[in-house]
Amino acid sequence: MTRPLARLWSAVVCAAALALAGLVVSVPVAADTGCRVDYTVNQWQGGFTAQVKVTNQGTALNGWRLRWTYAGDQHVTSAWNAQVEQNAATVTAINVAWNASLPTGGTAEFGLQGTWSAANPAPADFTVNDAPCNGGPTPTVTPTVTPTVTPTSQPGCTSAAICSGFEDQSSTPSGDWQVVTPNCSGTGTATIDPAVAHSGAKSLRIDGGGSYCNHVFASTTRAVSQIGPVVHARMWIRHTTALPTGHISMITMADAGDGNRDLRVGGQNGALQWNRESDDATLPEQSPAGVALSTPLPVGRWVCLRYEIDTARQSMRTFLDDQEVTGLRVDGVPTQDVDSQWLRRTTAPRPATLRLGWESYGSDRDTLWYDDVAVSSSPLSC
């Protein structure tokens, strides 16, 4: 063999050895940090929100970094429950302090909001700590601009974008409904109850525990952000324990008009109230006069709760069994003891999600059932 040919052969052998060495190293790394990503998007013309759930299929992690590349012209504008940055088409999401630990089989969830112009395809090249997600992403829900109408036998629901009596559900919410425990998870549970229903044969049952981490919700995967300009919502609720003095929430909606901080329906001082996560404003104000203009949520029977949110101006109305609750009305003109505090923020709410469940900021517990849920751009009745 000539000297030049010997050098060439030596180089080939070395390169092959290095490549083999690299392969041996990379395989266990990918196996140790395997993951699955659920990327669910609510889309409207020019904008979107995405809920991202990371499931660790490898060894326990203390700190994680999720990365993907957008194939369209998407641009992330804000995020919650993770630190998210975008460089050209590459997006990197890094844990925050409280969700850094990701045990084997554990999950972490975060959300983001963004814009797009020409296209908004779902990303597919997820990596965690620079290793591919072996589980891959689940199919992405990408709604069109026009809300999907689902025919149903539930009353007053035939033209609603969201219409559910939970009749298509099994023991645990799935499909159009997913169990979520924002921020931390405890003893709260969300199940489908075949023994209690307002109509049909099933309902959503929530067993909510005391203290914040024992909260639990069933969240719709449908496109709430597309509904408008007035969002009309209706649901039947039954619960076992009178509303407490402490602050609780039963219905939460990420508000795209307020950095996706939650807009909440719940209670305080024994009466129904609205609450904003961003500034803790309440409707009505928590004065004796304000609370007196609201009403308790009856116990031990089905009650119809309806509300209307105008996304173009500060206007909200709330009804219980088709009777308007005067203390839960916003009309754009500040009213002492009712909505003066609420109107300090001038931007109208823009619901982007819908979650039904229980969240206590003290030690209060309750068992609740939800049935015949509808959200529409058109008025709904009980």
pTM: predicted TM-score of the whole model, two decimal places: 0.62
- Amino acid identity, residue 368? L
The residues, ordered by sequence, that sit 6+ positions from 298 with a Cβ below 8 Å of its Cβ are: none
pLDDT (mean) for 366-371? 98
* pLDDT confidence of residue 274: 98
* pLDDT confidence of residue 342: 95
Span between the terminal Cα atoms of the chain, in Å: 91
Q: Minimal CA–CA distance to 120: which of 41, 208, 186, 215?
A: 41
pLDDT (mean) for 117-126? 89
Chain segment 127-150, per-residue pLDDT in tens: 999 888 866 544 444 443 333 333
pLDDT (mean) for 73-91? 87
- The pLDDT confidence band at residue 156, using thresholds 50, 70 and 90, is low
Burial bucket for residue 337 (CB in 10 Å: 0-12, 13-18, 19+) = middle
The most confident of the ranges 93-97, 293-297, 311-315 is 293-297
Query: How far apart are the C-alpha atoms of 372 and 163, rounded to whole Å?
Result: 7
* pLDDT confidence of residue 15: 38
Task: Identify whether the C-beta of residue 167 lies closer than 8 Å to the C-beta of residue 148.
Answer: no
Of 16-30, 42-56, 324-338, 346-360, give the lowest mean pLDDT range. Answer: 16-30
Higher pLDDT, 300 or 134: 300
pLDDT greater than 80 at residue 211? yes
* pLDDT confidence of residue 135: 67
What are the b/e assignments for 104-140, b being 16+ CB within 10 Å?
Answer: eeebbbbbbbbebeeebebbeebbbeebbbebebeeb
- The pLDDT confidence band at residue 51, using thresholds 50, 70 and 90, is confident
Residue with tokens 């407490």: 244
pLDDT (mean) for 15-41? 50
Q: Minimal CA–CA distance to 310: which of 291, 288, 332?
A: 332
